Structure 1
Amino acid sequence: MSDLPKSARVVIIGGGVVGASCLYHLAKAGWSDCVLLEKNELTAGSTWHAAGNIPTFSSSWSIMNMQRYSTELYRRLGDEVDYPMNYHVTGSVRLGHSKERMLEFERVVGMGRYQGMALEMLAPEDIKERYPFVETHDLAGGMYDPYDGDIDPAQLTQALAKGARDMGARIIRFCPATGARRDGDEWVIATPKGDIRCEYVVNAAGYYAREVGKWFGRDLPMMVMSHQYMLFDTVPEVEAWSKENGRKLPLLRDVDSSYYLRQEKNGFNLGPYERNCKAHWITQDDPFPQDFSFQLFPDDLERIEWHINDAMARVPLLEKAPLQKNINGPIPYTPDGNPLIGPMPGVPNAFEACVFTFGICQAGGAGKVLAEWVTEGQTEWDMWSCDPRRFTGFCDEDYCIAKGMEVYGHEYAMHFPHHAWPAGRDKKLSPIHAQTSALGGVFGAYNGWERPNWYARPGDDTSEEGTQTWRREGPWFDAVRAECEAVRDAAGILDLPGFSRFRLSGAGAAAWLDGLITGRLPAQGRVGLGYFADDKGRIVTEMSIARLAEDELLLITAATAQWHDYEWLARDLPSGLSLTDETDDWTCQILTGPKSRDILAGVCDGDLSLPWLSWQTAQIAGAEVVLFRVSFAGELGWEIHSRPGDTAAVFDAVWKAGQPHGLRPFGMFALNSLRIEKGYRAWKGDLSTDYTVLQGGLGRFVDWSKPAFRGKAALVAEKAAGPSKRFVTLVVEAGDYDPPYMATLWQGDTVVGETTSGYWGHRVGACVALGMVRADLAEPGTALEIEIFGTRHRAIVQEDKPLWDPANARLRG
């Protein structure tokens, strides 16, 4: 049937593989009253020309989860929906040219093992056994993924569509959505066949997603790249090998040369990601088309000539292969290369599942995640890596183009922990950016804000190449140690623009907020931490809460959490209450260390005897500031909040007053070291919906006497049963490398947990990891091992108190 129904519970806009997967998973969740609208035929966008590779490889825990789920779904989907599918699970070999690349492979193998996948490391001599036609003389080794392969994108889409239809969902082809409007609590989607009303709408429009987003007042952070792959005809040796072995060659990825090479029938498919890449539909001479269904760009082989020659040297058989055709089609990119899956920022009952660079391999998992967002309001895995709210308003078109091209040109690049990508920088500058730059600041971007990561000294290497290492020690290490020592022994000042801050007020504001957080609100004049749980008791976010008056509260949270946390508050805000985003109205500096009171006393008229966790207004350099007596560094200190226009004068006064006391600037790397020694959690690392409040070691922030708060029932049940995991601090004999996020914890041959943070603690002189372990192993003194880049290192569970200043005497001083 092709008649357009008058209404549906959910309308999905876009009939590519992702839209079809969303429809399938919604129907599987029992929401069969759903309609998918496609302007042409299914797959008419990026799906029809996609190469169809299905890797599980990712250095992101959530993306790996999503891709792993896709492979599991695709292996059974044809039988489940009774639709023929060409899915070749060939395995893949990734080639590594350097020790750094091999360390990345080791990390991913460890993550895959934890997710139940048997990924393997390969020595150079092992590679030939997997792929006999490859030259290995200059390789350090490789990695084998037995779950990798390729699939026919059209068949996959049709299989998902058939499965959805069989469960009662509807697909209306040749019926473009042409607009959307809000009518009461419903969406009205316009089409040439009439309007359709719905409760929820999903933008799954692929590279048209930005145009669709405009109907909702949303400017999607995306751009479009052209990606080419070449199809080569039969090579007799490949044909003979396949006949003899009864299977296709593994997919080959030379990630350091930036291309994949796979067997296509009895020939090859070569797909490069070139640095001299090309963006489309960004100029008046190349405008965005009204319809690009089943179309391609002209061939541009000169752009990928280097990669063709390199691939032919790597696999000499490729030289014999007759070129059959070249595919050059559009692929959308976000500024970080991850898709948009989740709530549409600022728009009620609207969701996004779009801008997929690797849509075929991620579609299965994306459909699952999107269906969970719509039907449950939360997802099984923490999916911040793909949440549309991770990009805020600074992502203009120029930024999206610059970052999209950077990501494409470095598609297979390693993401080193101290490296900052250079494109699209300086979007938001602190009022004292010039001063911190003059002091040697080396910057990183945090929600667009440039913050100093560390302060280079004369002779320090500040080149981009100098930070491309997994090692703990690099050009920054000695400088960061000196910064930490200054904070420990005298005082340090950190420029911290971009804190997200919201003012909540109105009669009943305190009572309403009290029903959201797990603990208690601070008294007037005081500051405290508030933890927000979802209905399953999992950690949604952490905010600092300052009680300004009985029913007026200031909430401060991470820079990157701005849209996420604002929506968490605004979504259910009762009428009569006011919630104002004041993020751009203030900026912040952290002054901390044992001499910080003496420094402030020389420039400030505030009462510096007020206790820890208090706030006050004061004057510095003739400007009104707000002083919070808190310190994420774990020393005596204050956050100095000032208006942007006053900040330079405030900084200059504090800096001048601090010089006789040994005041030095410090950066985000030092802050990470300082906070981890105190066991302070970081947002979307240690604090995420992958863990409950009790698993996260935050039981002291739960007020069990409160009659109700969100997530209480789940936490009460968990408390009675006992958490399955517990948060721990570990001291690690870590060698040259700190534990990365999601490094595996072992006891003997058993996986017992994972790290959520790891860094060198300069005050305690040790590598420190925060993580989650099986509850029975959280006892102090328990000896475990952490797998760091393939090597296990001894790690000892510490007492449930900070390693540095366990009694908080320095904080309270």
Structure 2
Amino acid sequence: MAAMSEKVRVLVIGGGAVGVSCLYHLAKAGWTDSLLVEKNELTSGSTWHAAGNVPTFAGGSALMNMQRYSAELYRRLGAEVDYPMNYHVTGSLRLGHSEERMDEFRRAIGQAKRQGMEYDLLGPDRIRELYPFLETHGVKGALYDPLDGDIDPAQLTQAFAKGARDMGARIERFCSVISVRRESEEWVVETDKGEIRATYVVNAAGYRAQELGRMFGREVPMMVMSHQYILFEEIPELAAWSKEVGHKLPLLRDVDSSYYLRQEKAGMNLGPYERHGRAHWATPGDPMPDDFSFQLYPDDLDRLEWYLNDAVERVPILGTAGLSNVINGPIPYAPDGNPLIGPMPGVPNAFEACVFTFGIAQAGGAGKLLADWIVKGRPEWDAWSCDPRRFTDYADPDYCVDKGLEVYGHEYAMHFPRHIWPAGRDRKKSAVHDEVAALGAQFGPYNGWERALWYAREGDDTSEEATLTWDRNGPWQARVAEECRAVRDAVGILDLPGFSRFEIVGGKAKAWLEGLITGKVPKVGRIGLGYFCDEEGRVVTEMSVMTLAEDRFLLITAATAQWHDRDWLLRHLPGHGGVTLIDVTREWSCQILTGPKARDVLAAVTGADLGQPWLSHQEAVLGGRACHLVRVSFAGELGWEIHSRREDTPAIWAAVTEAGAAHGLRPFGMYALDSLRLEKGYRAWKQDLSTDYTALELGLSRFVDWEKSDFIGRAALLAERERGSARRFAVLELEDHPKDAPYLANVLLGDEIVGDVTSCGYGSRCEKLIALAVLQADLAEPGQALEVDVFGQRVKAVVAGDAALWDPANVRLRA
């Protein structure tokens, strides 16, 4: 292409497997007026040196969906686009050395079954049948994935490219992006070949994504790791075996030792994830080169010695092979190891599909999700675990490096429900953090904010090792039960920094809010829950709507939802003005004071009207400082949220805790709050409330005002109401079990999957194991007997209905 002045619908920047998959899927969706630019040749970034493994196994549902989709697509892609591809579906063995690891595998079997895949759990004898060269010392079993395998990354990328071109999309290689600007609702991208104007832009620049992001004013949360794998020469014994049986060995992952071992022709490929990895291009003295296309780092084999020795003990024939080659290339990492797929935070019509640690396995699914975001405005399945907006301003470069090194060194780690990874902590602290810590608080981060999870007493085991378990009954459980009982019988206080807060101001603000939420905007002096749906009626988010005046509102939402919800609101602001949004998250803090004696405590420190009804709010003075008293309680007891400016919070905390001493006040943490809210059937965002379900499926019809002429999702919800929902929300009582059912555990009727668990935990007031679930509609009736798959064990469950198990009439809440 000569000097150009192009205008396209979508511009994809980056020509690796992910970027070209995005172009392919956009074209497949009919958006053929799309262009991809690459500064060098296709695959010149991380794609060219990628090992090309294609597992379907993943720790979360969204990633497993992506990888399942990729594997399905790759099996047919070559034929569909008429391009030759080397794709070997060999199956894989994932070794387990402990019962905790075997439980992880049992959980994965249930996840896979939910997505139509069949994994199997094998004992040592069966493992040896599939992998005769393997020593099984110390191995309890293995997870077998028959769909795992490996693909040639370059061929995959070229297949996507051919398919995209055949449908009319275009690719321009050797075209570097120089700058980006916004003009007249379009992106103007300056390249070394001229200008390109685009309605939408996609950052698919791989390990250069941060460099490109800065052109948009965006600091992409990422770092770059040095990842090595070793190729070995031909092993005659392996060559003879493969010739005899006619296929390759299954891909082997010794996850507890942290490496994979794959047959490569008649040799082998060993890929470790070492605990003491190396970050590159992370300091001013180590800048990223202007061009690192098709280049590698120098070998650093000393880092791999332990893993090589362990692999030779596991598969002795590896020790007979000579080393053929070492690949040491750059791999991008986000702070949690998941990719960034979706809207670029705070930037209109810009998207990210970058920072892929397993880009070959995820490229197909990533391209589909990205195309869904652009074409439909939403992905097919909830993909919050990959959403770029899950990280906010706390994820600075130092944080990204610390977390990237940690994630890389624990690539195959089990993610236990109570374990908090230690790197990158204390990014944001409450104004009373030290006071809370002095009471024994054990903290965990929420959008970077440190919150008390539970309060330890002298002699309690607070070590990290104590949390490396799937069991609920760790050293915290007795304290959580005590905290719950204190809230039930007396009064508890929870310091809750980090609520996301948005002031909405303007003469048209009320009408604008009415068009966004499914229900009514509360009257002045009142507060209520507002549910925001997409066009299909699926729940995007939940916010508390506090009406301060006819033209002034405060929206309060989850800490982790800050940039997600801000983007949703900004995207829907009226173009004609009349509504202003201000993010005031940093300026405020909150405490929850709740329990039957909460009124007595407040009466000692404020002259406010404590007889105001549930769901009301008022300005007050407490401990000599101004605050906002809000008559709500997520714990389901008489209570208030005390909202105060950060500088006023210490005085208010001191006044309340001093007055509370006479009434049995006890601090409680997030674990207790989660237990208490489950007993009330309260839904939590991105657990129970997600775009996997509609508002009606989640039992939120009482929050839908059908008399309103319009709101986003109304037509879809109205059609669903008329035909009846296929699924319904329900509260389940489970037979007691030492483990909580994990997120999206299967609910079973016989051998049929009939629903999903969205939350589970023990209710200390009810003394029951409780699950919130979405079930096949005809089974969501009280008394229906079901079972829940809890790490491979079928646990009996009974539908209790859709109402709260604790105080269903809200007598205590309204007291």
Whole-angstrom CA distance in 1 between matches of 2:759 and 2:59: 15
Equivalent position to 2:725, from 716, 723, 726:
723
Whole-angstrom CA distance in 2 between matches of 1:130 and 1:456: 48
Equivalent position to 1:648, from 624, 637, 650:
650
- The offset of 1:4, in angstroms, is 4.7
1:426-445 correspondence to structure 2 within 5 Å: 426-445=426-445
- The offset of 1:505, in angstroms, is 1.2
Contact 2:766/2:805 (<8 A) preserved: yes
User: Aligned partner of 1:335: which letter?
Assistant: P
Whole-angstrom CA distance in 2 between matches of 1:679 and 1:55: 36
Whole-angstrom CA distance in 2 between matches of 1:67 and 1:305: 31
Change (3 A) 1:161 1:4: farther
Deviating runs (4+, > 4 A) in structure 1? Answer: 1-5
Q: Which residue of 2 aligns with 1:33?
A: 33
User: Aligned partner of 1:477: which letter?
Assistant: Q
Whole-angstrom CA distance in 1 between matches of 2:787 and 2:200: 47
Q: Which residue of 2 aligns with 1:561?
A: 561
Q: Tell me if 1:755 matches 2:757.
A: yes
Q: Which residue of 2 aligns with 1:248?
A: 248
Equivalent position to 1:777, from 771, 776, 779:
779
Q: Which residue of 1 aligns with 2:788?
A: 786
User: Aligned partner of 1:424: which letter?
Assistant: G
Whole-angstrom CA distance in 1 between matches of 2:367 and 2:328: 27
Q: Which residue of 2 aligns with 1:768?
A: 770
Whole-angstrom CA distance in 2 between matches of 1:3 and 1:83: 31
Contact 1:2/1:173 (<8 A) preserved: no
Larger deviation, residues 574-583 vs 71-80:
574-583
Whole-angstrom CA distance in 1 between matches of 2:628 and 2:544: 14
TM-score normalized with structure 1 length: 0.99
Question: What SS does structure 2 have at the residue aligned with 1:49?
Answer: coil
1:293-692 correspondence to structure 2 within 5 Å: 293-574=293-574, 575-692=577-694
User: Aligned partner of 1:336: which letter?
Assistant: D
Whole-angstrom CA distance in 1 between matches of 2:305 and 2:436: 44
Larger deviation, residues 400-409 vs 279-288:
279-288
Equivalent position to 1:746, from 717, 735, 748:
748
Contact 2:732/2:801 (<8 A) preserved: no
Whole-angstrom CA distance in 2 between matches of 1:671 and 1:724: 31
Contact 1:3/1:172 (<8 A) preserved: no
Contact 2:444/2:450 (<8 A) preserved: yes
Q: Which residue of 1 aligns with 2:80?
A: 80
Q: Which residue of 2 aligns with 1:274?
A: 274
- List per-residue Cα deviations over 1:401-438 (Å, max 9, x = no partner): 00000000000000000010000000000000000100
Change (3 A) 1:36 1:310: same
Contact 2:114/2:746 (<8 A) preserved: yes
Q: Which residue of 1 aligns with 2:710?
A: 708
Q: Which residue of 2 aligns with 1:20?
A: 20
Whole-angstrom CA distance in 2 between matches of 1:652 and 1:166: 69
Q: Which residue of 1 aligns with 2:54?
A: 54
Is there any run of 5+ residues in structure 2 with no aligned partner, and where?
A: none
Change (3 A) 1:91 1:3: farther
Whole-angstrom CA distance in 2 between matches of 1:318 and 1:161: 37
- The offset of 1:73, in angstroms, is 0.4
Contact 1:523/1:547 (<8 A) preserved: yes
User: How high is the sequence identity, in percent, across the aligned residues?
Assistant: 66
Q: Tell me if 1:144 matches 2:134.
A: no
Contact 2:3/2:194 (<8 A) preserved: no
The two structures, once aligned, show a CA RMSD in angstroms of: 0.8
Whole-angstrom CA distance in 2 between matches of 1:449 and 1:2: 51
- The offset of 1:576, in angstroms, is 2.0
- The offset of 1:550, in angstroms, is 1.0
Q: Which residue of 2 aligns with 1:698?
A: 700
Q: Which residue of 2 aligns with 1:237?
A: 237
- The offset of 1:492, in angstroms, is 0.6
Question: What SS does structure 2 have at the residue aligned with 1:26?
Answer: helix
1:280-295 correspondence to structure 2 within 5 Å: 280-295=280-295
Change (3 A) 1:600 1:361: same
- List per-residue Cα deviations over 1:742-784 (Å, max 9, x = no partner): 1001001211011000011111101100011100000100000
Is there any run of 5+ residues in structure 1 with no aligned partner, and where?
A: none
User: Aligned partner of 1:364: which letter?
Assistant: G
- The offset of 1:6, in angstroms, is 1.4
User: Aligned partner of 2:645: which letter?
Assistant: R
- The offset of 1:124, in angstroms, is 2.0
Whole-angstrom CA distance in 1 between matches of 2:204 and 2:239: 39
Whole-angstrom CA distance in 1 between matches of 2:559 and 2:285: 38
- List per-residue Cα deviations over 1:787-806 (Å, max 9, x = no partner): 00001010000022100011
Q: Tell me if 1:42 matches 2:42.
A: yes
- List per-residue Cα deviations over 1:61-93 (Å, max 9, x = no partner): 011000000000000000000000000000000
Q: Tell me if 1:173 matches 2:173.
A: yes
- The offset of 1:206, in angstroms, is 0.3
- List per-residue Cα deviations over 1:44-72 (Å, max 9, x = no partner): 00000000000011120011000000000
Query: How many aligned positions are there?
Result: 813
- List per-residue Cα deviations over 1:539-562 (Å, max 9, x = no partner): 000000111111211100000000
Whole-angstrom CA distance in 1 between matches of 2:556 and 2:393: 19
Q: Which residue of 2 aligns with 1:115?
A: 115
Contact 1:4/1:172 (<8 A) preserved: no
- List per-residue Cα deviations over 1:272-298 (Å, max 9, x = no partner): 000011000112332111110000000
Whole-angstrom CA distance in 2 between matches of 1:632 and 1:132: 56
Question: What SS does structure 1 have at the residue aligned with 2:463?
Answer: coil
Whole-angstrom CA distance in 2 between matches of 1:125 and 1:466: 33
- List per-residue Cα deviations over 1:450-508 (Å, max 9, x = no partner): 00000001100000000010001001000101000100110110010000011111112
User: Aligned partner of 1:127: which letter?
Assistant: I
Q: Tell me if 1:89 matches 2:89.
A: yes
Whole-angstrom CA distance in 1 between matches of 2:555 and 2:502: 5
Q: Tell me if 1:812 matches 2:814.
A: yes
User: Aligned partner of 2:51: which letter?
Assistant: A
User: Aligned partner of 1:792: which letter?
Assistant: R
Change (3 A) 1:191 1:537: same
Change (3 A) 1:649 1:778: same
Q: Which residue of 2 aligns with 1:801?
A: 803
Whole-angstrom CA distance in 1 between matches of 2:802 and 2:396: 45
Whole-angstrom CA distance in 1 between matches of 2:607 and 2:140: 62
Question: What SS does structure 2 have at the residue aligned with 1:587?
Answer: strand
User: Aligned partner of 1:222: which letter?
Assistant: M
Whole-angstrom CA distance in 1 between matches of 2:673 and 2:4: 57
Whole-angstrom CA distance in 2 between matches of 1:2 and 1:328: 36
Whole-angstrom CA distance in 2 between matches of 1:549 and 1:7: 46
Whole-angstrom CA distance in 1 between matches of 2:569 and 2:337: 28
Whole-angstrom CA distance in 2 between matches of 1:219 and 1:299: 30
Question: What SS does structure 1 have at the residue aligned with 2:812?
Answer: helix
- List per-residue Cα deviations over 1:227-266 (Å, max 9, x = no partner): 0000001111211111111111000000000000000010
- The offset of 1:179, in angstroms, is 1.2
- List per-residue Cα deviations over 1:113-167 (Å, max 9, x = no partner): 0100011111122211121111112111110000100000000000000000000
Question: What SS does structure 2 have at the residue aligned with 1:504?
Answer: strand
- List per-residue Cα deviations over 1:356-407 (Å, max 9, x = no partner): 0000000000000000111111110111111111110111111000000000
